[in-house]
Structure 1
Amino acid sequence: MTTPSTPQPRSHIREIPAYVPGKPPTPRPDLVTYKLSSNENPYPPLPGVVDAARGAVDLMNRYPDMGNATLYAGLAARLGVPVEDLAAGTGSVALIYQLLAAFCDPGDEVVYAWRSFEAYPIAVTSAGAVSVQVPLTDDARHDLDAMAAAITDRTKVVIVCTPNNPTGPSVTQTELDAFLATVPPHVVVVVDEAYLEFVRMPDAVDGLATYRAHPNVVLFRTFSKAYGLAGFRVGYAVAHSEIAAALRAVSLPFGVSAVAQVAAVASLEAESALLERVDALVAERDRVGAALREVGWDVPEAQGNFFWFALGERTAEFAAACDEAGIVVRPFAGEGCRVSVGEPEANDRLVEVAARFA
C-alpha cells in the first residue's frame, strides 16, 4: 500500500454532497427585490425578543450556559415534558448530525423520503452511514409503505419530514401510526417538524402524543421558521430520556450561543403574538395557493410556508424569470423550485411569473 504524501480525509468525506443555501437577491435600483429562497419568516422578531437579545450581548465576554438550563425550563413548561427529554442544537439541522453520530456506525442505513431536506444525505454521508432514499408519491408525499419496506437489518434511523421540505405535504396521524406499527423498536424514527406551526389540516400529526407513545420516536423542532430566529440557530429535540441524553452527549459544547438562548426564551414568552404572525402567513399562503391554481398550477398541498413547482427541465428557466421579476427562489436542478411565502408584493410577482409557465 502506497503511503500518501499529504494528509488525507476519511474516504467518505469526498462523497459528501454540497449544501446549496438559498441565495440572497441582487439589489436593483429599479425594483425592490425579495428573498423567497430560504423559507424564512419575513416578519422581524418582536420588539421584546430584540430587547432581550440586546441585553444578552452585554455579556458576550462570558460563555453561554452549556446546559441550556433556562431554555430547557421554558420548553419543558411550554410542552409539558421533562427537562431530561430535551436536547438543544444549533438549529434542527445540527440535531440530525448529533443523532446520526450517536446511533449510526459506518455502513448503517438511514431511510428517508426523497426529495426531502437536502441536509439529510449530507449528514448521513458525514456519519459514514448509507442513505436509503425512498421516492415520493406522484403527489409529492411520503410513501410510508415503501419506506417501511425499505427497512432492513442495517437500518438504524428513519426520518419522516412533515411537512416535507421542499414539496410541502404533511403526513397524517393515521398514516404515521400505521407506519410506526411496522418499524422495529430498535430503529430510531425522527419526526422532523421544522414547519409544525404552519400546519392546518385534518388528522394532523400530534408529535408530543406520538413521542409519548413510542420510546423510539424523536421530534425535531426549531426556532428558525415560525419564530423568526433563523440567524440565531436554535433547534431542539424531544425524545425519551435515553435518546435525549445521547444527543446531548455528542453535542458541540457551548453550541447554542447565550444571545440565541435568551432570544428563544423570549420568543416562547411572546408566543401568542408570534403565532398571530404565523396565522397571517398561513392566510397569505392560502391566498397565493388559490391564485396559483387559478392560473393553472396544480401545486402540491402546502402545509409549510412554501410552495413546490415541479418544473423538470424548465427549473432553471423559471428561476431566471423569477430573478428577472426581483424575487429569488430555490431551484433544484432538473426537478423544480421551492418558493417561500413572503411579502404580499413578492407573492404577487410569483403568481405573475407562474402564470406565464402554467
Structure 2
Amino acid sequence: MSENEQAVSRGITPREVFSGLPKYAAGKPPRAVEGLTQYKLSSNENPYGPVPAVREVIRDFATANRYPDPLCTRLRGVLGEHLGVDPADIVTGAGSLGALSQILAAFAGGNSDGTQDEVIYPWRSFEAYPIVTGLAGAREVRVPNLPSGEHDLEAMTRAITDSTKVIILCTPNNPTGPALTKKKVQDFMARVPSHIVVVLDEAYLEFCQESELTEAEIAEGGLAEGMDLYPDYENLVVLRTFSKAAGLAGLRVGYSISHPEVTQYLRVSATTFAVTAVAEEAAITSIEHDAEVRDQVRRLVSERTRVVDGLASQGWTFPVTRANFVWLPLGERTQEFAELADENALSVRAFGAEGVRVSIGEEEANTRFLRIAEEFSQQGER
C-alpha cells in the first residue's frame, strides 16, 4: 500500500486536544404541548429583546454588502464616553465569548518547548471556559465553587503555579448566580502575581441591583464592578456583552476593557470583522437608549424577585442570584425536573446530575415555572 493510500485509510483526524473537549450544549427549544404556549428558559436570553430604536436599526440596515470597520471605531468611541474610559482600552469581539477567545489566544496556550500554560477558572461556571481553554492549547485548572455557589477564591489562589497565565472570575457566576464583592476581588488581586492576566467576566453585571445589597456586601464595598477596579490593576481585563441586558444575543457583540499593556496584544489576536456593521449600530443605539434598556432590566429583576420569593415560600434552598436566572441544585433529580418542565412546554438547562438553571422569562413562563417547582417539591415529599 502506498503512503497516500495509507493516509487515506487512516482518515482525517483533528488535533489530539479535541478528544478531551466537552461539547457546548446550547439551550434546547421547548417541546410543543397542546394548549400551552412554549417558553424557552434555557439560554439566559432577554425575553423582551432589543429596545424599539434598536429594532428600527436592524430593520432598516442596508449595507450588508460592505465589510464592517474591523476596529469598531464608532462603537468604542461611544462606549468610552458612556463608561468614562479611553476608547483605546476597548477591544471588541463576537460576544464576550469571542472577546475571551482573543484573550486566551494572546496569553495562554502551548509553548515551543512542549509545555502548556495553565488557565484557572471556577467550576461549575460558564461551560465554554473548558472549550476555549482547550482550543487555545492551554491546560485547564478547575476550582470547585463553595457550597453557596460562590467562587472559592482561597482555593483559586492556592491553585496558582509558575505555569498559570490566565485566571477567570465570573461575576455574577453562570449558572449558580452569586456575585463577588469589590473587597473580595481586591484581596484576590493582591495575592495574584502581576504577570498573570485576570479576567473579570461581567456578562450579567447589569442585573446586579444596588437596592438588593446586604449589609455584609455594603461593608465590602458593594458588588465588584470592573469599571471601578481595572484602573488599579494593569493585569485585570473586564469582559462585557450586549447579549443579555441589551437583548442582542443573536448579533454577537461584546468587548474587553484593559490597559495598553494588554490591549496591544488583543488587537493582534482579535478576529478581523468579528463584529458586523449591523451589530455595531445596534450596540451604539442600545447605549444611546440606555434608560430604556435599564427599564427592561428592572422589569426582569422584578420578575426575578417574584420567582425567588415564590421558590423560597415553597421551601426551596438555592444560591443567591444576581443574574437573570436561578439555580436549583437538584443533584440526581436534575433530569427528572427537566423532563417535568419539558412536559409543560418549558425548556430549562439541566447540568448532568448537578442542577438546573432556569432563566427569568415572560411573566406567564415564570408563573408556570413556579407551579411546576411546587409540584416537583411535593412529589419529593411523598
TM > 0.5: yes
Indicate whether 1:98 and 2:102 are aligned: yes
Indicate whether 1:147 and 2:151 are aligned: no
Give the Å deviation of 1:44.
2.4
Indicate whether 1:320 and 2:339 are aligned: yes
Aligned partner of 1:308 in structure 2 is 327
Moved more, 257-266 or 196-205: 196-205
Amino acid of the residue matched to residue 178 of structure 1? D
**2:169 match: secondary structure:** strand
Structure richer in helix, relative to its length = 2
C-alpha separation between the residues in 1 aligned to 2:194 and 2:376?
47
Is the contact between residue 88 and residue 248 of structure 1 (CA under 8 Å) also seen in structure 2?
no
Pairing 1:177-256 to 2, within 5 Å after superposition: 177-200=186-209, 201=213, 202=218, 203-256=222-275
Aligned partner of 2:92 in structure 1 is 88
Indicate whether 1:136 and 2:145 are aligned: yes
Aligned partner of 1:109 in structure 2 is 118
Aligned partner of 1:67 in structure 2 is 71
Give the Å deviation of 1:11.
1.2
C-alpha separation between the residues in 2 aligned to 1:257 and 1:305?
26
Aligned partner of 2:113 in structure 1 is none
Deviations 1:130-176, CA, capped at 9 Å, x for gaps: 11111110111101011011011000000000000000000111111
Aligned partner of 1:279 in structure 2 is 298
Give the Å deviation of 1:7.
3.8
TM-score normalised by length of structure 1? 0.97
Aligned partner of 1:162 in structure 2 is 171
Aligned residues: 356
C-alpha separation between the residues in 2 aligned to 1:219 and 1:22?
26
Give the Å deviation of 1:8.
3.2
Greater gyration radius? 2
Aligned partner of 1:343 in structure 2 is 362
CA RMSD of aligned residues (A): 1.3
**1:181 match: secondary structure:** helix
Is the contact between residue 48 and residue 247 of structure 2 (CA under 8 Å) also seen in structure 1?
yes
C-alpha separation between the residues in 2 aligned to 1:206 and 1:356?
38
C-alpha separation between the residues in 1 aligned to 2:152 and 2:241?
25
Deviations 1:242-299, CA, capped at 9 Å, x for gaps: 3123222112111111110110000000111110110111111011101000001011
Gaps of 5+ in 1: none
Amino acid of the residue matched to residue 30 of structure 2? P
TM-score normalised by length of structure 2? 0.91
Is the contact between residue 31 and residue 343 of structure 2 (CA under 8 Å) also seen in structure 1?
no
Indicate whether 1:355 and 2:364 are aligned: no
C-alpha separation between the residues in 2 aligned to 1:153 and 1:241?
24
Deviations 1:302-351, CA, capped at 9 Å, x for gaps: 10000001011101000000111121100001111000001111111111
Is the contact between residue 87 and residue 245 of structure 1 (CA under 8 Å) also seen in structure 2?
no
**1:95 match: secondary structure:** helix
Amino acid of the residue matched to residue 205 of structure 2? L
Is the contact between residue 84 and residue 245 of structure 1 (CA under 8 Å) also seen in structure 2?
no
Is the contact between residue 37 and residue 339 of structure 1 (CA under 8 Å) also seen in structure 2?
yes
C-alpha separation between the residues in 2 aligned to 1:13 and 1:246?
26
Is the contact between residue 330 and residue 339 of structure 1 (CA under 8 Å) also seen in structure 2?
yes
Give the Å deviation of 1:25.
1.4
Amino acid of the residue matched to residue 309 of structure 1? L
C-alpha separation between the residues in 2 aligned to 1:264 and 1:252?
18
Indicate whether 1:125 and 2:129 are aligned: no
Is the contact between residue 330 and residue 356 of structure 2 (CA under 8 Å) also seen in structure 1?
yes
Amino acid of the residue matched to residue 42 of structure 1? P
Identity over aligned residues, as a percent? 48
Indicate whether 1:25 and 2:30 are aligned: yes
